[in-house]
Structure 1
Amino acid sequence: MTDEQTDQPQPPAEEPSAEPAPEPEVEAPAVEAEVEAAAPEPAGRRRVGGTRLVVALLLGLLGFTFAIQVRSVADDPTVAALGEEDLVRILANLDAHEERLQQDIRELQETSQRLRTTGESQQEALAEAARRADELGILAGTLPAEGPGVTVTLRGAGGAVTADTLLDAVQELRGAGGEAIQVQGADRAPVRVVASSYFVDGPDGIVVDGRTLRGPYTLVVIGEPETLTPALHIPGGVVESVQQDGGTVTVHEEPGGVEVSAVRQPEALQHARPDS
């Protein structure tokens, strides 16, 4: 080692600091978050959350219904054998049905937004609940209804008009957007058609929900006339089937309005209860 290296002054060693290490700080936001989480949620917020859940379920149901209808048409083997005009008619019916579903979605979204912006006031919530109750009453057949629609009369002797024929007509009209339906025979006493309705051939006519009807048979349907009428004229549908068996089907569009006056008494539930 050289003299230069020996003579260089060495830096003094640093003495350890006598200051104690700082204590870790408690995260106040986390404590506040836990306190807020433990606090009970306001009733108004719970109501808004329930409304959003109901709206989301309804939107999902509408989308599922449309998807099922489109798929059922796509899987139908008779569609491949139809002509261009028939396919255009089917597509037009699907477009009209899609437009109705989109309109329902828009109305539900507007309702959801209105309830959120107004803080779901009690009056707004009650008005919305009453409107939904009226709609459900019409669908369940417990309330009369009126609106634009069609009247469909089926005539035929022998096997031209059977229980299966009436059932097919009801299903085609429902698929085309029929919102309320009643059927009546020659005695003009109507029967409200609902989801649980049944049709059976009897010795004196067609039995609908336990009541015997004699022809001719008339269906009164509320919905868009320009959509309901083409649904019955689809190749292989009710009109073509009845005509092939020697009967006739007459469809009258009533844009001014028809009345579905028959109602059903609500049944008391014995086992089912709301899940809340």
Structure 2
Amino acid sequence: MNKLKTSSFILFIIMLIVGILISYSYQVTKETQSPNHTSSQQWEKEYEIRKLLIEQEKQNRKLQQLLFKKQQQVTEMEEKLKEEKQIYYNLVEDVEKLRMFVGEVGVVGQGIEVTLEDASYVPEGGNVNNYIVHESHLFKVINELLISGASAISINGQRLFHNTYIYCNGPVVTVDGNQYPAPFVIRAIGDPEVLTQALNIAGGVLDQLAYDNIVVKVEKKNEIRMEPLIKNQTTN
């Protein structure tokens, strides 16, 4: 009987120890596997975040490429606008020059003043017509000034037009219907040095006028003003 009790007690002790060992083993296994499980979840989360970052970077690159293209388009448009602005500016300049040439607007600038006078002395028996200013003399001066770059010309204050007519009638010269006596003052707007040199060329206009007994005086002017032709025509 005592042997049976002792065997039962020993068996109980053994079972208790085995139970404790099993429980301990389970607890150790659980604690050992728990970090692995957590690491797996964390890895999956990091993977998803990394995936989102990669997608975002791809989207950013696309946006950067789009921005670069738009910047190029803006640059091209700015260059085009600059060119158009320059073209418009040139057109405005050309229009203003043309308006000045045809006499639609007044003009101010430096230039020269050429005064033609009849000869102060006529030899006895000489032909008076050979000692006075004629339209041909005026045309010589005007044509030389135009060829030399004069932008506007006037005679005795009357500005000349592209179809201005000039003719001589005795001691007076008629310009577009208006009569002017000598002396005849021709004003031209342009580079004073160029205009003066053009008239003073050897064998040129001034020498020809001197040969025709015409008294000529040339002066450089810092400022010459001419009214628009329309105003002159309205006044006339």
Aligned to 1:120: 84
Counterpart-to-counterpart distance in 2, 1:232 and 1:192: 20
SS, match of residue 182 in structure 2? coil
- The match for 2:218 is 251
Distance 1:116 1:214, change over 3 A: farther
Identity %: 25
Residue number among 129, 135, 158 corresponding to 1:163 in the alignment: 135
* TM-score, length basis structure 1: 0.47
The question of whether the paired residues in 2 share the 8 Å contact of 1:221 and 1:260 is answered with: no
1:145 corresponds to which of 101, 107, 111: 107
- Between the aligned partners of 2:212 and 2:110, the Cα distance in structure 1 is 30
**Aligned pairs for 1:1-276 within 5 A:** 116=80, 118=82, 120=84, 127-157=89-119, 158-159=129-130, 160-184=132-156, 190-254=157-221, 256-261=222-227, 263-264=229-230
Check whether the contact 1:204–1:212 (CA below 8 A) recurs between aligned residues.
Answer: no
Q: Distance in 2 between matches of 1:145 and 1:115?
A: 34
* Deviation, structure 1 residue 180: 0.8
- Aligned residue for 1:206, secondary structure, equals strand
Please state how far the C-alpha of 1:232 moved relative to its aligned partner. 1.2
- The 4+ residue runs of structure 1 with deviation greater than 6 A are none
* Count of residues paired in the alignment: 146
Which TM-score applies when normalising by structure 2?
0.54
The DSSP-based 3-state class of the residue aligned with 2:164 is coil
> What is the alpha-carbon distance in structure 1 between the residues aligned to residue 95 and residue 206 of structure 2?
35
Residues 182 and 262 in structure 1, CA contact (< 8 A), matched pair in contact too: no
**2:110 aligned partner, one-letter code:** P
Structure exhibiting the larger radius of gyration computed from Cα positions: 2
Where does structure 2 lack aligned partners over 5 or more consecutive residues? 1-77, 120-128
- Relative to its length, the structure with more helix (as a share) is 2
* Cα distance in 2 between the residues matched to 1:127 and 1:244: 48
One-letter amino acid matched to 1:118: K
Question: Which deviations, in whole Å up to 9, do the C-alpha atoms of 1:240-267 show, x marking residues without a partner?
Answer: 122223221111012x222223523699
